[in-house]
Amino acid sequence: MPNISIHRLTKKFGQVMAVRDLTLEVQDGEFVTLLGPSGCGKTTTLRCLAGLEEPDQGEICFGPRCVFSSQRGLNVPPGARGIGMVFQNYALWPHMTVFQNVAFGLVEKGMGREQIRREVSGILELVGMQGYEKRYPSELSGGQQQRVALARVLVTRPQIVLFDEPLSNLDAKLRMTLRAELKRLHAEIQATAVYVTHDQLEALTLSTRIAVMKEGVVQQYGSPQEVYHFPANLFVAEFLGNPTTNLVPCVVKDVGPVTWLEVKGGGPSRFAVELAGSLRLGQELILNVRPEDVVFHALPHEGAIPARVFAALPTGAECIIYARLQDAASEIVLRGPEEEMQCLRPDQPLWLGFKRGNLFDPQSGHLVCSFGFAT
Amino acid sequence: MLQLKRRGARVLRRPERLWGVFLLLALLVFVVIPLLYIAVGSFQYDSWGPRYVRGAEPGQFTSFYWHRVLFSQMSSSIFGEPFLHSLLIASLVVLISIPLGSIFAWLVVRTDLPFKKFFSSVLIIPYILPAWTVGLAWLTVFKHPQFGGQPGLLFGLFGLEPPIWISYGLLPIVISLSVHYVPYTFTLLSGALATIDAQLEESAEILGAHRAKILRKITFPLVLPALGSAFILTVGRALGAFGAPAFLGLPVRYYALSTRVYAAFSNRQQAEGYVLTALLILFTTLTVLVNQKLLGTRKRFTTVTGKGGKQRLVKLGRGRIPALLLLGAFVGLFVFAPMALVFLETLLKMEGRYAWDNLTLHYWVGLGVPELAEGQPGVFRNAVILGAITNSVFLALMTALVSGVLGILLGYTVVRNRGKPLSRALESLSFVPYMIPGIAFGGIYLSLFARSWGPFPALYGTMTILILTCTMRNLPFAAGAGVAAMHQIDVALEEAAELHGARWPKRFVRIILPLSKSGFLSAFILTFITSMRALDEIALLVTPQTRTMTSIIFRFQQQGFTQHAYGITVLIVAITLVGNYLARRLGGRVSF
């Protein structure tokens, strides 16, 4: 179980910088997710780790062993890196049976026939595919194909496993099931895993740490909680919305024991937050509050903003409310248990307060301070 | 140094670039250099030079031949007339085979015509047969006692003496070539028609358009690219076709450009041959380019892509019987009857006498008797013919094998290097041989490889040069099949093997090759068939040791050993049909 260290990695495709000066450390046994929109360089980074792309600059080491270094002219071929990789479209060889697919790597290693048979049936049992040895990939469902692809990777006991959006071709329900299986498998096989996805829910549920990427640069690297609750900048805050987040421009009106902010253009809509740090009077900020951190009062309330229900969307266990401030331009989304929310009707007035959230600088987009979190 | 080392390692790990460079070099040597060679050769005195011009040194620069071919008093008989004939043949063939192929395709794909399966498998046969089969059959019916001495069926049975323009020349040439090239249009258009999304036509129908209008406004524009490809294929081949004009034109001195080129080269008037070859290539290229410009498409094997929705079949109603008759008549008269007639001819002891006591198996199994065909033993007892059969089958198999592998390699290189100039260069260069008519191909390779040159030993008189010529000639089809097959293979399939440490040769053999089986097979079968019946490109290259069945047919036909010539034709037909059947069983199919 080696750790992975990526040092100042750069990869260009023609004029386009896919990965820019990326440095990242993955501890051994970790499950790290590279998360970002398409074209952010996450897949390129993964392929550089696999050795399928050759970076222009930088260094990649697995434990004490360097597999790529532009300075030393070192580039270990993919097959010699001791890694496994699961592809988005499974990449099962359609002309080989499940057994042949899984056995390929072992044959390549020169393992004896009897041992191969044992290893293959062992790993197929692990992924729940025993009894399918003689089937061809086209005779399997998407979920089964992905399980076979996993088996094919795990059978060679790689110390590092790379995942390139392995669940994105599956339907929602199957994705849930396989997510749980993947998490379980990772604990069992004890390999270091790097996982690429654009699905934030997948990243949050699976990872020990998430690296959020944009335009080839890591925006934030931290635990799912850190990334979710304390986004380093506006991009991370917005990308990890679940499903969306509130970003409201506001101005500092009063600094004292409690800080008063006013929603920009929202009329006399002031609200109070408890801040540890201090802000300048008149400073412009962008407020980020998760929908579940918005509280509402049915009657006027000290330090809460008056608003009106625009639409109520029950989703079963929860209810999502779209509320509009008095100027009708700013919209706040809130979310909560259905039994608390079901009383709300369109056009009903309500008063909104913010339990906890983050304030960003509108120019740089960086986090200025957070409020309301237990420390 | 480090840079170099890394680069070397990368090239070995991902050799598609290396292959690309290698293939590009091969194409330069076998396609570009020959073209340049013609261009240069047409401006030099050949060994005949001194006979035309006093003091001319062979090899000396001159524009004499261009002048002679284009502007001298000889011009009209060397170039003008044959050129007009070629143009006339090509235009008439296009005018007949494209509409006919289109109608057949529409009937078979889009209507409730009965026996569709039968028709769609039979309509490929004219392409599988040698182009001159219909021509030979035509001769057995309409042959004129005045030429070749023997009367045909019409004369033999009814005493009718058909006019010469029916027996030889333009009419029979056009008919046999048209029949031969109908499958181009039929196959390409069937594919296009079958993949049109039915919704496109249905939405026009819902808007109130009637059937003719839908056909004209919706269907026709959608299949236009396929028609364009069919046009290119047909015109390219018809302009340079050699076999049919040779069998049906030479006896009455009806020359086409291709037969002129043949005459020039076989008289050792190379320079004149070069000039004519250059002109032939020029016209073929121009036609193709103009067509591409007009259609605004560069896709040459295009069919309309996209998933076809469920198409409703057009009910022919009262038109069913006439449609069936039309197709039936075509298939009967131009596919089955010619085969039967050619076979019947081999059983006649004396040509033109259709009587029971004149039937014999002598020309198949008889030992030679002096009074019949100058003592030539029957086909199966004839050492020369048996040798030629071996040669032909060997040539066809080797060419098919080499083309299949080359096609897959080219496809691999083109698709994996997609977007790079290397890929584009390979793709366009591999299409160039299509513009070079077969007879010209033979002429060039004859001059180029007669002597040892560069790293190449003298290849004239070897099977290698025949295989080489046939392979290069079929390269466009092989490359097309390879590229199409490679598009179906996801890169990840190869990368997954690479991650398991499989090196390139292993990946190619275990992953790429098995997955491109269908592409390999279609390149294989198409090249097998075309090389089996190849005459154009090898007519100038065969020697007594490397004789093929086709070259013997050509020689026997000229010498008047009709039954033998026809017998070998029957064998070629049998072998290609069996080959096609086997390939279909394995999952390959003829596609252009």
Res A277: pLDDT: 66
Token representation of residue B528: 């097998």
- Cβ-based neighbours of B584, under 8 Å, separated by 6 or more: none
Q: Which residue has the higher pLDDT, B11 or B337?
A: B337
Interchain proximity A91–B495, CB inside 8 Å: yes
Chain B residues within 8 A of A68 when measuring between CB atoms? none
Question: Is the distance from CB of B341 to CB of B348 less than 8 angstroms?
Answer: no
- The residue assigned the tokens 């040439």 is B173
- Stated pTM of the model: 0.81
Interchain proximity A91–B500, CB inside 8 Å: no
**CA–CA distance from B51 to each of A217, B41, B55, B57 (Å)?**
78, 18, 9, 10
Backbone angles phi, psi at A258, to 5 degrees: -115, 145
**Dihedral sign for Cα atoms in the order B558, B531, B264, B435:** positive
> Which chain A residue lies closest to B7 (C-alpha atoms)?
A73
Interchain proximity B499–A78, CB inside 8 Å: yes
**Nearest Cβ partner for B511 among A87, A89, A93:** A93
Q: Which amino acid is at B465?
A: I
How many angstroms separate the CA atoms of B116 and A111, rounded?
Answer: 54
- Among the residue ranges A79-83, B118-122, B461-465, B557-561, the one predicted with the least confidence is B557-561
Mean pLDDT calculated for residue range B446-464: 86
Question: Is the distance from CB of A310 to CB of A331 less than 8 angstroms?
Answer: yes
Residues above pLDDT 90, as percent of chain B = 30
Residue B303, pLDDT above cutoff 50: no
Residue B302, pLDDT above cutoff 50: no
Q: Which residue has the higher pLDDT, B370 or A197?
A: A197
3-state helix, strand, coil in chain A (%, to 5): 25, 35, 35
For residue A104, give how far its alpha carbon lies from the nearest alpha carbon of chain B (Å).
8
Res A265: pLDDT: 62
Beta strands in B198-258 (DSSP E): none
Chain B residues within 8 A of A84 when measuring between CB atoms? 499
pLDDT in tens, A219-278: 999 999 999 999 999 999 999 876 789 998 888 888 877 788 888 766 566 777 777 667
> Which chain B residue lies closest to A160 (C-alpha atoms)?
B499
Chain A residues within 8 A of B3 when measuring between CB atoms? 73
Residue B101, pLDDT above cutoff 50: yes
Residue B336, pLDDT above cutoff 80: yes
Quote the mean pLDDT of chain B: 86
> Which chain B residue lies closest to A80 (C-alpha atoms)?
B501
Res B149: pLDDT: 62
pLDDT in tens, A278-316: 788 888 999 999 999 999 888 888 778 888 899 989 888
**Dihedral sign for Cα atoms in the order B310, B315, B320, B323:** negative
> Taking a contact as any Cβ pair under 8 Å apart, which residues of chain B between 491 and 510 contact chain A?
492-493, 495-503, 506, 510
Chain B residues within 8 A of A54 when measuring between CB atoms? 6, 10
For residue A210, give how far its alpha carbon lies from the nearest alpha carbon of chain B (Å).
25
Please count the helices (runs of H) and the strands (runs of E) in chain B: 32, 0
**Nearest Cβ partner for B514 among A75, A95, A108:** A95
Q: DSSP code of B591?
A: -
Residue B197, pLDDT above cutoff 80: no
Q: Residue A229: how many CB atoms within 10 A of its CB?
A: 18
**Any A CB within 8 A of B7 CB:** no
Confidence of residue B398 (pLDDT cuts 50, 70, 90): very high
Closest among A22, A8, A120, A1 to A59, alpha carbons compared: A8
Interchain proximity A91–B9, CB inside 8 Å: no
Chain B residues within 8 A of A75 when measuring between CB atoms? 6, 9-10
Res A276: pLDDT: 61
**Any A CB within 8 A of B513 CB:** no
Chain B residues within 8 A of A83 when measuring between CB atoms? 499
Interchain proximity B6–A87, CB inside 8 Å: no
Q: What angle do CA B437, B331, B234 make, to 5 degrees?
A: 20
Question: Is the distance from CB of B436 to CB of B281 less than 8 angstroms?
Answer: yes
Confidence of residue B559 (pLDDT cuts 50, 70, 90): confident
pLDDT in tens, A126-159: 898 999 999 999 999 988 999 999 999 999 889 9
Interchain proximity B500–A77, CB inside 8 Å: no
Q: How many CA atoms lie within 13 A of A155 on its CB side?
A: 33
**Nearest Cβ partner for B492 among A77, A91, A152:** A91
Q: Which residue has the higher pLDDT, A362 or B212?
A: A362
**Dihedral sign for Cα atoms in the order B31, B32, B37, B39:** positive
- Cβ-based neighbours of B81, under 8 Å, separated by 6 or more: B255
Interchain proximity A85–B499, CB inside 8 Å: yes
Confidence of residue B301 (pLDDT cuts 50, 70, 90): very low
**Nearest Cβ partner for A105 among B5, B13, B500:** B500
How many angstroms separate the CA atoms of B514 and B482, rounded?
Answer: 13
